[in-house]
Amino acid sequence: MKGPAIFLAQFAGDEAPFNSLGSMAEWAAGLGYKGVQIPTWDGRLFDLQKAGTSQDYCDEVQGVCREAGVEITELSTHLQGQLVAVHPAYDELFDGFAAPEVQGKPAERTEWAKEQVRLAARASRRLGLKAHATFSGALLWHTVYPWPQRPSGLVEEGFAELARRWRPLLDEFEENGVDAAFELHPGEDLHDGITFERFLDAVGNHKRANILYDPSHFVLQQLDYLAFIDIYRDRIKCFHVKDAEFRPTGRAGVYGGYADWADRPGRFRSLGDGQIDFKAVFSKFAQYGYEGWAVLEWECALKHPEQGGAEGAPFIASHMIRKAERAFDDFAGSAPDAARNRRVLGL
């Protein structure tokens, strides 16, 4: 595992040091981070069009980060990926994620989003990256609770359409040697293990369809986030280290009663302030040989972002495990002896 690293999206702003990639990279390095995950929609930090078409620009971006003392872990197209599939009920709410020239034009917006994802696959290759962070978008989310009853075949058709939109993009990632890692997240059609499996079936088990693991979203869904690693370890290519808590009351549970984040039973917290057993999470990743980055995605209903950011690097570093190269009891072992082994077995 590599790290600690930090996702820059929640910290970017118009004031220094949060208004350029160079100054943010220096800020992150000063806090002890070794890598940065870059949001490709934020023009203050990154030009995706240039990155997808110009090796010189990608080399320049790499140089800026290296000079500051950090590596680029992955690029992110969370907002653009969301726009690959948008149900009309969410058109206006998601329109702000798109470029101004395609806002209010759903069909054009979808094609713009697809091209953004293609550019990100090419940019990732130019930057020498192995994985990419994104969202799937959603056509079915408004039916997540089956009332009224879902019409027969609705879910199957929804995932078939999602696959039709994403299969060519996954092929683009394959051509560029990069894994597309979908963050499984409420609001996306890919939000848990079952929905990811439905998608895998619909895209023919595509090798580039993979997972960004973020246990905070599983706490809020009341899903076993440790067993999830056991099941899907071979598909986990990115890791957001983010904490959360779920404290149901007699008045609200998983759905939260439309409350603001601070008042919801399930809410995101800074690392160490929530309920996630990160010692167990990092142990699972060490056990299975995860080779990607551990990236802080800071979100908290209470704490100031700069405090959360400062606390994140040492927290992650303290949980990273250098996997042992030999068993702890090798000192008491003995050389292989087939005859002895048969005697021990009474044979």
pLDDT in tens, 272-305: 999 999 999 999 999 999 999 999 999 999 999 9
The distance from CA 338 to its chain's CA centroid, rounded to whole angstroms, is 48
pLDDT of 188: 98
Domains annotated on the chain, with CATH? 2-344 (3.20.20.150)
Single-letter code of the amino acid located at 267: R
Q: Is the pLDDT of residue 334 over 90?
A: no
Angle, in degrees to the nearest 10, between helices 193-202 and 154-175: 70
Q: Is the pLDDT of residue 323 over 90?
A: no
The distance from CA 334 to its chain's CA centroid, rounded to whole angstroms, is 45
pLDDT of 324: 82
Q: Per mean pLDDT, which range of 128-132, 158-162, 260-264, 330-334 is the poorest?
A: 330-334
Q: Is the pLDDT of residue 331 over 80?
A: no
Kindly state the average pLDDT of the residues 111-137: 98
Q: Of 298, 297, 295, 308, which is closest to residue 3 (Cα–Cα)? A: 295
Kindly state the average pLDDT of the residues 325-340: 84
Q: Of 318, 131, 305, which is closest to residue 213 (Cα–Cα)? A: 131
Q: What mean pLDDT value characterizes the chain?
A: 97
Rg, the chain, Cα only: 22
Q: Is the pLDDT of residue 330 over 80?
A: no
Kindly state the average pLDDT of the residues 22-43: 98
Tokens of 301: 């209903």
Q: What is the pLDDT of residues 170-224, one digit of tens each?
A: 999 999 999 999 999 999 999 999 999 999 999 999 999 999 999 999 999 999 9
Single-letter code of the amino acid located at 228: F
Could you tell me what percent of the chain has a pLDDT over 70?
Answer: 100
pLDDT of 232: 98
Tell me which residue has tokens 């970017």. 12
Q: Of 244, 166, 241, which is closest to residue 210 (Cα–Cα)? A: 166
pLDDT of 329: 78
Q: Is the pLDDT of residue 111 over 90?
A: yes
Residue 311, classed as helix, strand or coil, is: helix
Predicted TM-score of the model (pTM): 0.96
What dihedral do alpha carbons 171, 174, 179, 182 form, nearest 10°?
0
Kindly state the average pLDDT of the residues 322-332: 80
Residues in the chain: 347
Q: Is the pLDDT of residue 335 over 90?
A: no
Positive or negative torsion for Cα 326, 328, 334, 340? negative
pLDDT of 70: 98
Query: Rounded distance, CA 227 to CA 120, Å?
Result: 31
Q: Is the pLDDT of residue 118 over 90?
A: yes
